[in-house]
Amino acid sequence: MLFSFNFNGKPGFIYLLVEHASTPQPFLPFRMLKYVMAIMEDHLKRTKSRTLPFVLPLVLYTGKKEYPYSMDFFDLFAPEEKMLAKETLHAPYPLIDLSQATDEEFKKYIWFGSMGLLLKHIHDGDILPFFKGFLDLLKEIEKQGETRYIYTHLCPNSVKKRYF
């Protein structure tokens, strides 16, 4: 259920999930996060707002036994990753503005530089001048025996995607 309220004079929502499962769900905080994101996305589409609404998730558990799992989203991470997850997910996202770096700066770093150059120049009207310098980086990568990296750059759909 979704209830709209005013919070400090601004519209917001309280999302109420009535949990009828007879067994507790260890990943309930993750599921709630997905629901909150869906509510925010729906709100943006419907209202054309330029700001996110405040959504307060509440869970009413109706199981027969006491709920044994943490409702802290960060407790779902491995202990050695929990602090990093908190620091990362609560901080502004890093942004690298490729348009502000010179091609010469990119060329200093073969691996990231080749990817950065390709992304920076992907929409150039005349890409041929770019490719002449780009090929030198690819040749260096090839010398290191990393042809898969080259294929990933030039033919991303032909390379099987793997997640780390």
120 and 153 housed in the same domain = yes
Band of residue 155 on the pLDDT scale cut at 50, 70, 90: low
Q: Which pLDDT score is estimated for 163?
A: 44
Q: Please indicate, yes or no, whether residues 8 and 85 belong to a single structural domain of this protein.
A: yes
In this structure, are residues 123 and 98 in contact, taking their beta carbons and an 8 Å threshold? no
- Distance CA(1)–CA(64), nearest Å, equals 23
pLDDT of residue 19: 60
Same domain assignment for residues 73 and 114: no
Q: Residues 91-96: what's their mean pLDDT?
A: 90
CA distance 101 to 108: 12
Mean pLDDT computed over 76-93: 95
Domain span holding position 60: 2-89
Boundary-marking domain end, from 89, 114, 143: 89
Q: Pull the structure tokens for residue 162.
A: 């793997």
Give 123-150 as a DSSP string. T-S--HHHHHHHHHHHHHHHHTT-HHHH
Tell me the pLDDT tens digit for each residue of 4-20.
Answer: 778 888 777 776 666 66
pTM of the full structure = 0.69
Across residues 77-103, what is the average pLDDT? 93
Distance CA 86, CA 150 (A): 35
Q: What is the pLDDT of residue 20?
A: 64
41 with 64, same domain: the answer is yes
Same domain, 13 and 33: yes
Within a domain: 163: no
End-of-domain residue from the set 89, 109, 129: 89
Domain boundary among 68, 89, 110: 89
Domains held by the chain: number: 2
Largest CA distance in the chain: 69
Query: Residues 110, 143: contact at Cβ < 8 Å?
Result: no
Tell me what pLDDT residue 26 has: 95
Q: What would the mean pLDDT of 127-153 be, rounded to a whole number?
A: 80
